[in-house]
Structure 1
């Protein structure tokens, strides 16, 4: 009899972490390299450069974050065709994803002047920052075809359970970016433009590596780039649903961040510190979500409903373990973590008042991370869209409204309720439609 842990074989636990661990490591490596990137800009003689890059990077990241539907939809479809051992179908999904990524990326690049004007109108930075931020955004948006292609490559690699290479794509992007920063900013003194060109070069290098790895895995050549209109339409529909889901999520997060400004600049700084705890949570929970995407998706492709249940149960166990672990760490060391993020006494004192919300967050939020993985693996894009809208309508908005007298505590109440309602609606939707979707 094989050895077991929590009622599951050790071999299957290893399968989960063979996917999860590389993605956890890439999640850790990316911000560490990003710190080097920021440090290079931050050591220029004028702080205006750092501020301009921060504003520009926020705008570009928001646009690319909305495009994450490309990665999600591709992962689900590839995982299912990988499980069915259908290489031709995997190539077709790659064709559709690559076509959409490049087409959408070119459209973003062409629309960059209007995107710059609109984004800076929304952000309203100081007049002195506008020329630098405009330069940064204008250059970065021409990397959109490459940045979106990377999302497709990640989807293919994760769907095929090649998370090691997916991890290296993230590391390559950041490593090339840092090296080009040294050449263009320090060596050629290009300041903000140098930072933007460094990121653009990193995106195109990584995209080429990603396409090469996908082509090798799928035995694909450009001659095989053919489009099937009916299947492309289905692929676009799935991507549209996930886009709406991501947009609603980002609007809720932006509402919370933006509304904090009404309570003073200190509260904005406090929430910026506390949001780093969400980043820490995502390090582990995203890894488990990637695992269930790939494993449940492959089981669906193999038409094995019992294996879907099995992988869902096993990954849920680890999601719960990670959630409890995070809550314990935040309970025991939350104040020390805040002290590592900032050394401003007034920010530290105020941030500690909100630690109970941070301790609660992993317990109420891990369900939504895990369910996202299940829904992506099973290509339940309509369910992702609908449950997100319901969670915003019945969770975030009413709690935000009711919590206004509580000021910032009300915002954290709204966020916690939103995450909890997401998990509840996702669980209910999946339970009602389980037999139809597997």
Structure 2
């Protein structure tokens, strides 16, 4: 085999990458598509207040679950390592530990849920009938919080074991059950907001039950393994690190819409449209990141530095390729994509003004997607936390503050801060990896 073909990898290597990446890309595409159907069903109710209540309630719970994504990431890391070491008993214990965290945190969310409407009222000035309907939605759906978090753990196990097709099935199944439930409960039984909440409740619990059965079968769990305190504390430490990392990331993302309100409603709408470009970016780059997590995690479990380096190199090639394609598409068709999302002339004009930032963003951001996968595979949760804090507190906030207080860049300053933030994430992660090569095994 020639040197170049070895460096580029074998065909079978790329098949393994996309055996994980492609099902997750399909999952990422199917979820928002079915979500559009879900929204369309609710959006055809006789009063807009129902759609507003469901949107607010779903946004609140989705934000909480998004912060809990550490359950998926940490589970993927430890299970992938155990999978690489061919240690089935360790995989069983990691699965049990993850479920315990999911149940405890899920019950905590339920106990604290009565506070959520007051927080919404304070942050968004939600009141009257809208507040009441939003509270109804939350108080029904929140009882599925343990199931939603169990689903994160199940997804982590399946990705760690490179069983991406099963993970894809569960993601699509959740959304299908939700849509069917909406049709029956909202249209058929005229239950409005309550129907939407119960449909989501049914989707999350049914997926959790099926997911538990699938994982139990693959892990050959006949009876529950004994708890291992060291394993619990390891997972708790990783979960805490990734939670802080996710919180810092979400705060930066919220700033892109929240602070834009000071520049006027048209700018808020334009930024909301352009943030959908980040959703498009994640469809592809997340798929590669999932592959990186699983394959490097397995290689670490096998204590194979050469395998870690090989998967690092091959997945990075695909990450760079996807980033270039995204930039080319946004450069060629960005204006048309904006016009598909909105037909308001003022919003289109403003969004086109800031479009060059989105053309450059894939080339800056793909590094952080890729390195997140590497760090999860290596179990380097503390480094994920620290590099995210450097990028958010040391780059995003200072650049935003300087451009906001001392220049007239306004919304361009926000996009400059976000672009620098993405670049700083990748650069700090790359620097950490160079300084900690021994962490590869």
TM-score, reference length from structure 1: 0.98
- Matched ranges for 1:4-403 at <5 A: 4=5, 7-221=8-222, 223-403=223-403
Query: Counterpart of 2:434?
Result: 431
- 2:388 and 2:141 map into 1 onto residues whose CA distance is 30
Give CA-to-partner distance per residue, 1:172-218, whole Å, 9 cap, x none. 11000000001110111110111011001100000011101100110
1:254 Cα offset (Å): 1.3
Instruction: Give, in angstroms, the shift of residue 5 of structure 1.
Output: 8.4
Q: Which runs of 5+ in 2 are unaligned?
A: none
Check whether the contact 1:116–1:138 (CA below 8 A) recurs between aligned residues: no
Distance 1:377 1:13 in 2: 18
SS at match of 1:45: coil
Other structure's SS at 2:303 match: coil
1:406 pairs with 2:409:
yes
CA distance in 2, matches of 1:112, 1:240: 21
The runs of at least 4 aligned residues of structure 1 exceeding 3 Å deviation read: 1-6
Residues paired across the two proteins, number: 437
Q: Distance in 1 between matches of 2:105 and 2:9?
A: 43
2:391 and 2:424 in contact (8 A); partners too: yes
Name which of structure 1's ranges 3-12 and 31-40 shifts more when overlaid on structure 2.
3-12
8 Å contact 2:140–2:194 — kept in the other structure?
Answer: yes
Shift of 1:8: 1.1
SS, match of residue 85 in structure 1: coil
Contact in 1 for aligned 2:378/2:439 (Cα 8 Å) = no
Q: 2:436 aligns to what SS in structure 1?
A: helix
Separation (CA, whole Å) in 2 of partners of 1:312 and 1:204: 36
Counterpart of 1:420 in structure 2 is 423
Offset, 1:354: 0.6
- Asked if the contact 1:8–1:314 (Cα under 8 Å) also holds between the matched residues in 2, the reply is yes
Deviation at 1:437, TM superposition (A): 4.1
CA contact (8 A) 1:29 1:171 kept: yes
Conservation of the 8 A alpha-carbon contact between 1:394 and 1:421 = no
Structure 2 Cα separation of the partners of residues 26 and 113 of structure 1? 32
Q: Report the Cα offset of residue 117 of structure 1.
A: 2.0
Deviation at 1:225, TM superposition (A): 4.3
Relative to structure 1, the CA distance from residue 6 to residue 39 in structure 2 (aligned partners, 3 Å threshold; closer, same or farther) is farther
Is contact 1:242–1:385 with CA below 8 Å preserved after alignment?
Answer: yes
1:108-135 per-residue CA deviation (whole Å, 9 max, x = no partner) reads 1122102332233222225331011111
SS at match of 1:227: coil
Contact in 1 for aligned 2:270/2:347 (Cα 8 Å): yes
Report the secondary structure of 1:353's partner residue.
helix
Distance 2:249 2:115 in 1: 24
Alpha-carbon separation, structure 2, partners of 1:120 and 1:173: 30
Distance in 1, matches of 2:6 and 2:299, equals 21
Q: How big is each residue's C-alpha offset from its partner over 1:209-248, in whole Å with a ceiling of 9 and x where there is no partner?
A: 1101100110014x31431112211110111100010011
CA drift of 1:303 comes to 0.5
Deviating more after overlay: 309-318 vs 405-414: 405-414
Deviations 1:146-171 (A, max 9, x none): 00000000000000000001111110
- Cα offset for 1:253? 1.2
